[in-house]
Amino acid sequence: MNAIQPSTPQLQPIQKRRAVTRPKRHLRQRSHQVMVLETTVKITVNFAISAAAISALVQLLPYHWSQQEKLREIRTEVKLMEGRVNSLQAEFSRNFDPRQTKSIMEQQGYRFAPNQLPVVIVPQDSKEVEASDSSP
C-alpha cells in the first residue's frame, strides 16, 4: 500500500480552436441584423400610420371649419331670436296687464278719452302729391 506508484503524467489541456468563437460572432451579427431590420420595419410602419393620420386631418379640417362657421351663424341667429322673444314676452305681459288696458285700447283701437285729441302727422311729400293730383 505504501508502494510507490508511478506518477501520472500531467495532462496538458488541449487548446480549443478559435472556430468556436466565429459562430458567436455570426450570431451577434445576425442578432444585430435582425434588430436593424426590426427597427426599420417599426419606423416604416410608424411613418405609414403618421401619413394616414395627417391625410385624415387634412381631409377633416375643411369640414371642421365649415361646421364652426355654421355654428357661429346659428349662435348669431339664436341671439337675434332671444332678443325678439324677450320683446314679445314684454309685449305679451303688457297686453295682459290690467293696469294698462286703457292705453292699449287707445293704441290699437284708435279710441281716445273725451279730453284728448288725436294728432295725425302727415309727411310733406304726401301734401305735394295731393296738390299735384288735384291741380289738373
The tens digit of pLDDT for each residue in 59-88 reads: 999 999 999 999 999 999 999 999 999 999
Sole residue written with cell 320683446: 87
**Rg of the chain over all Cα atoms, to the nearest angstrom:** 52
Residue ranges per domain, the chain? 21-113
Report the distance separating Cα 69 and Cα 36, nearest Å. Answer: 49
Report the distance separating Cα 129 and Cα 120, nearest Å. Answer: 18
Report the distance separating Cα 50 and Cα 87, nearest Å. Answer: 54
The tens digit of pLDDT for each residue in 24-70 reads: 666 677 788 899 999 999 999 999 999 999 999 999 999 999 999 99
To the question of pTM greater than 0.85 for the whole model, the response is no
Report the distance separating Cα 121 and Cα 108, nearest Å. Answer: 17
**How many CB atoms are located within 10 Å of the residue 117 CB?**
7
